[in-house]
Structure 1
Amino acid sequence: MKYIIGVDIGTTSTKSIAFDLDGNVISKQNILYPIYNPEPSWSEQSPVEMLNAVVESIKGVVSDNNTKGNELLGISFSSAMHSVIAMDKDGKPLTDCIIWADTRSKDYADKIKTSIEGHEIYMRTGTPIHPMSPLCKLCWLRDNMPDIFNKTYKFISIKEYVFFKFFGEYIVDHSIASATGLFDIYDLKWNKTALDLVGITEDKLSIPVSTTYSIKGLNKEYATYMNISIDTPFVVGASDGCLANLGANAIKKGDAAVTIGTSGAIRIISDKAKNDESERIFSYILSEEHYVLGGPVNNGGIVFRWFRDNFSPLELEAAKKLNIDTYEIMTDEAAKVAPGSDGLIFLPYLLGERAPHWDAYSKGVYFGINIKHKREHFLRALLEGVIYGVYSVGKALQETTGEIDTIYATGGFVRSELWVQMLADVFNKKVVIAESYESSCLGAAVLGMKSLGIINKVEEVEKLVPISKTFEPDAKNHKAYMKNFAVYERLYGKLKDEFYNISLIQEEN
């Protein structure tokens, strides 16, 4: 049997999955690593720990009994976006990996966003101005860590770090580059206006390459440890968001992919970049013929986890005794409440928000509490609030790109039928779930197959993604949700200034 490995370097773990050429999962490995928060607004990870997770997960898949004796055709990569690592001339990290959730550069983002120059950069790079963006992170490093900034040989992402360690070269795929705020998505080169703003030249960044670019000559030490040939082709691949669409088969006109894991996103694929004059959505590259348009939300499953860890001790204990998932108990509680949570509304901005507001200062809010509301109301309102956040991005996306017909759901939230039905009802659209939840890994594998000549075009993914379940919208529920959503949407505008004020107070403390 011949197989290909898709590797997804994610926020909380790295997954490596071996697929046969029909898209079936043969073997998988998932290696976790922590997020470090040395300061309240800082979110970092160790490049060494992340590299080790990549190595161990690949080694685990290759050594699995299901893959032994079979032929590995290549390894292709997906990766989280927006990370920054400063590297010295000897190839050693000067900083940890500053990830998308880091908001230390919010003052820089505010200043750039309100400038004419900032709007020009957005319109050429497709990356909204926000603290997640390496553009803003580098401005912060320049002014707050000048010794490190001036000593840096290359500013790179986590995937670039892995490829440098494996092959000794600094390369970056067009997809990851297009999420930096530094890369011109029309000319496919580093944008001079953005580089001048930061105060660097393009030699401080990696060489941009196509997402189907492959490389051989793996470092012998790593090859021996992972038990693979040094001539195994490594395909650089693309970003996790772009590949989630590909792996979910959400690639036709009218298709959208909604992913809710730790965070969330809604995306469509277009044959051209389309930026929004209001700067609400992103426009990233999947390939020279495919652009992924959409927007991410900071607050997905991590909000549910926050509620579980802080307000659900009885559920945690019960789940442990019954050997079931705590979330299953919690969603059963939420299901007791009718759609709309009897007028209780939750703004889920616990980690600030990206699309459509791009406001790092925004905060979580429960609104409309009355004496009749019980714990299950708060649970259901929380789940609804996450979906409202995705829907608000979906509205902006449809205004820019056209109507969405079908939603392909991916990510951990698809394990909850209640949550997926909520998505169908809020959007008033059909929602389908593929048999495999691992859309970013499968997307990486499909891009790898295209690179290696196994398939002729990425659209052939349709043959590899059977549908396991379809959810039809309920018109009555949609009507109830839209009443709440109208209030939800107005609340942000009314509270925006107060979010900023309370952030200042919290920072003082």
Structure 2
Amino acid sequence: MQAMIGVDIGTTSTKTVLFDLKGQVVAKQNIGYPLYQDQADKAEEDPDKIFVAVVKGISQVATVAKEKAIEILGVSFSAAMHSLILMDVHDQPLTRVITWADNRSESQCIDLQKSGKAQALYLHTGTPNHPMTPLTKIMWFRENRPELFSKAKKFIGIKEYVFFKLFGKYVIDFGLASATGLFDIQTMHWDEQALQIAGVSENQLLKLVSTETTFSDLQPKMAKNLNLSAEVPFIIGSSDGALANLGVGATTNGRLAVSIGTSGAVRMVVDHPVFDPQGKLFCYVLGKDLWLVGGPVNNGGIILQWIREKWFFKDKHMTYPELIELASKSEAGAHGLIFLPYLGGERAPLWDANARGSFFGLTRKHTQVDMIRAVLEGIVLNLCEIEQRIDQIAGPITSVRATGGFSQSSLWVQILTDCFNQTVTVSESSAGSAWGAAIMGLESLKIEHDIKIKQFKTWTPDSQYVARYHDLSEIWQDVSRKLEPEYQKISDFQQKYNK
């Protein structure tokens, strides 16, 4: 038997999966690590803990492969976008991993917007103006931590750190480069204007390589740690969002991928770069002659975690399925209750790190189950606004593939189906990005396989609820827009008095 390892370096854990050539999972590991948020707007991780998780994950599934006499054909990678690490002249990290969730560069984003440079940059890079971007993070270091900025030999991300530790080379794939805000997705080179704004040279960034690029020169000691032969090829792969689309079979124009995990995203593959006139959607590289248009949200399943911890703190055994079951006791539209899910600021469709959450329409008749239902619907309605924008700019959308933890809930998927008014299919794969990485790895090595994306179940819209959610969506969007001018004020108040 032969198999491929897919590695997905995520925000809170690294998933490592061993797939055979029919797409069956032979072995898998999920190794977590802490996210440090010990001050406002900060979200960092330890790069070495992540590297250890990668090594352990590969080693453990490779051990299973040896026990079952399975030949490992290669190891292919996915990684979360927008991370940044400053490296010194001795190739040691000067910082932790600054993740996409770090919002400290909000003022730099405001400066770019006021200067008129933000839109011009977007039309080159496809990356919306937001604190998630390495571009604005670098600007923040230059202005706020000049002693670190001046020592930085390289500005890299977490996958690039892993590959440097494995192979001693500073390289970045087109997919992750296109999410930095520093890369021109049409010329496929670092963008001169972005470099000038960031205050860095091209030499301080990394060598650009295609997503299919392979490496096969592992040092013997590293190969031993990974429990692999030194000749096993490593494929650099792409970003987690792009490979999630590949992993659920959403790779044709018109087929949308929607995921809700801790955060969430709506994405569609296109055969040419697509830009939103208002800069509300991203456009990133997937692979050769393929791009990805869509929008990410900060606020997905993490809000259910907030509900469980803050509302049901006395019931420590409350599970997420039980929480969602409570929502089923309400009705579609939650008796006219709207929830804006901006508990952690928001990326798409607002791109406002100061956005704050709220309930609208509360009356004495509303119950706790209405509020939980409104939360599920609010998360979906936020994604629905992104879906509508993709449909207008890059559509038409013809079907939806769902992935992420929410896809295990029939109620939540049916809400999505009715809000989007689209057929929604859930695949059997629960490791979309790792699966996508494995598929990209096999195709990069030109290895024939029989991997088919098996569909678990298909949901169809319920016409009576489609109309109800259409009406609710219009109110939801109006309320969201009218509150936008107040987000900065309440954020300033919170920072002033909530020390």
Q: Same fold (TM over 0.5)?
A: yes
- Match in the other structure for 1:401: 394
Q: CA deviation at 1:65?
A: 6.2
- Match in the other structure for 1:366: 359
Decide which of 418, 428, 437 is 2:411's aligned counterpart: 418
Alignment check: 8 A CA contact 2:253 2:395 kept? no
- Match in the other structure for 2:313: 313
- Match in the other structure for 2:370: 377
Decide which of 474, 491, 494 is 1:486's aligned counterpart: 474
Task: State the alpha-carbon separation in 2 of the partners of residues 115 and 252 from structure 1.
Answer: 37
- Match in the other structure for 1:24: 24
Task: State the alpha-carbon separation in 2 of the partners of residues 404 and 152 from structure 1.
Answer: 44
Task: State the alpha-carbon separation in 1 of the partners of residues 43 and 225 from structure 2.
Answer: 31
Deviations 1:332-391 (A, max 9, x none): 110011100001100000011101110111001011110011110110000000001100
Secondary structure at the counterpart of residue 28 of structure 2 = strand
Task: State the alpha-carbon separation in 2 of the partners of residues 402 and 336 from structure 1.
Answer: 35
Alignment check: 8 A CA contact 2:3 2:19 kept? yes
Alignment check: 8 A CA contact 2:269 2:293 kept? yes
Secondary structure at the counterpart of residue 424 of structure 2 = strand
Deviations 1:244-297 (A, max 9, x none): 000000012210000111100000001101011100101100112110110001
Alignment check: 8 A CA contact 2:263 2:300 kept? yes
Name structure 1 gaps, 5 residues minimum.
Answer: 320-325
Task: State the alpha-carbon separation in 2 of the partners of residues 228 and 164 from structure 1.
Answer: 18
* Equivalences for residues 58-457 of structure 1 within 5 A: 58-64=58-64, 68-313=68-313, 315-317=315-317, 319=318, 326-455=319-448
Task: State the alpha-carbon separation in 1 of the partners of residues 342 and 362 from structure 2.
Answer: 18
Task: State the alpha-carbon separation in 2 of the partners of residues 110 and 296 from structure 1.
Answer: 20
- Match in the other structure for 2:455: 467
Amino acid at match of 1:102: D
Q: CA deviation at 1:218?
A: 1.3
Deviations 1:205-229 (A, max 9, x none): 0101000000111132221122101
Q: CA deviation at 1:67?
A: 5.6
Task: State the alpha-carbon separation in 1 of the partners of residues 312 and 219 from structure 2.
Answer: 48
Secondary structure at the counterpart of residue 30 of structure 1 = strand
Amino acid at match of 2:479: L
Task: State the alpha-carbon separation in 1 of the partners of residues 328 and 360 from structure 2.
Answer: 20
Amino acid at match of 2:353: A
Alignment check: 8 A CA contact 1:335 1:418 kept? yes
**TM-score normalised to structure 2 length:** 0.98
Deviations 1:418-452 (A, max 9, x none): 10111100000000011112110110001001111
Q: CA deviation at 1:114?
A: 3.7
Task: State the alpha-carbon separation in 2 of the partners of residues 116 and 68 from structure 1.
Answer: 59
Deviations 1:117-158 (A, max 9, x none): 221110010000100011111100101010100100100000
Q: CA deviation at 1:488?
A: 1.2
Task: State the alpha-carbon separation in 2 of the partners of residues 303 and 39 from structure 1.
Answer: 20
Task: State the alpha-carbon separation in 1 of the partners of residues 70 and 430 from structure 2.
Answer: 24
* Greater shift in the superposed pair: 424-433 or 304-313: 304-313
Alignment check: 8 A CA contact 1:26 1:66 kept? no
**TM-score normalised to structure 1 length:** 0.96
Secondary structure at the counterpart of residue 27 of structure 1 = strand
Amino acid at match of 1:24: Q
Alignment check: 8 A CA contact 2:41 2:102 kept? yes
- Match in the other structure for 2:465: 477
Aligned residues: 497
Secondary structure at the counterpart of residue 179 of structure 1 = coil
Amino acid at match of 1:484: L
Q: CA deviation at 1:315?
A: 4.7
Deviations 1:85-116 (A, max 9, x none): 00011111000000000000011112213433
Task: State the alpha-carbon separation in 2 of the partners of residues 67 and 439 from structure 1.
Answer: 26
- Match in the other structure for 2:54: 54
Task: State the alpha-carbon separation in 1 of the partners of residues 37 and 313 from structure 2.
Answer: 25
Task: State the alpha-carbon separation in 2 of the partners of residues 57 and 104 from structure 1.
Answer: 32
Secondary structure at the counterpart of residue 218 of structure 2 = coil
Task: State the alpha-carbon separation in 1 of the partners of residues 315 and 404 from structure 2.
Answer: 23
Q: CA deviation at 1:467?
A: 0.6
Alignment check: 8 A CA contact 1:27 1:66 kept? no
Secondary structure at the counterpart of residue 119 of structure 1 = helix
Task: State the alpha-carbon separation in 2 of the partners of residues 31 and 361 from structure 1.
Answer: 32
Amino acid at match of 2:491: S
Secondary structure at the counterpart of residue 151 of structure 1 = coil
Q: CA deviation at 1:402?
A: 1.5
* Greater shift in the superposed pair: 105-114 or 162-171: 105-114
Amino acid at match of 2:155: F
Secondary structure at the counterpart of residue 86 of structure 1 = strand
Secondary structure at the counterpart of residue 445 of structure 1 = helix
- In the superposition, relative to structure 1, how do residues 206 and 65 fare at CA in structure 2: closer, same or farther (>3 Å)? closer
Alignment check: 8 A CA contact 2:65 2:71 kept? no
Give % identity.
44
Alignment check: 8 A CA contact 1:89 1:152 kept? yes
Deviations 1:311-334 (A, max 9, x none): 1235533x4xxxxxx011111110
Task: State the alpha-carbon separation in 1 of the partners of residues 262 and 66 from structure 2.
Answer: 30
Alignment check: 8 A CA contact 1:87 1:156 kept? yes
Deviations 1:450-475 (A, max 9, x none): 111114xxxx88x5211110000111
- In the superposition, relative to structure 1, how do residues 247 and 67 fare at CA in structure 2: closer, same or farther (>3 Å)? farther
Secondary structure at the counterpart of residue 29 of structure 1 = strand
Secondary structure at the counterpart of residue 335 of structure 2 = helix
Deviations 1:176-221 (A, max 9, x none): 0000000010111100000000111110001010000001111322
CA RMSD of aligned residues (A): 1.2
Q: Which aligned runs of 4 or more in structure 1 are off by greater than 6 angstroms?
A: none
1:497 aligns with 2:488: no
Q: CA deviation at 1:505?
A: 1.1
Secondary structure at the counterpart of residue 150 of structure 2 = helix
Secondary structure at the counterpart of residue 6 of structure 1 = strand
- Match in the other structure for 1:322: none
Name structure 2 gaps, 5 residues minimum.
Answer: none
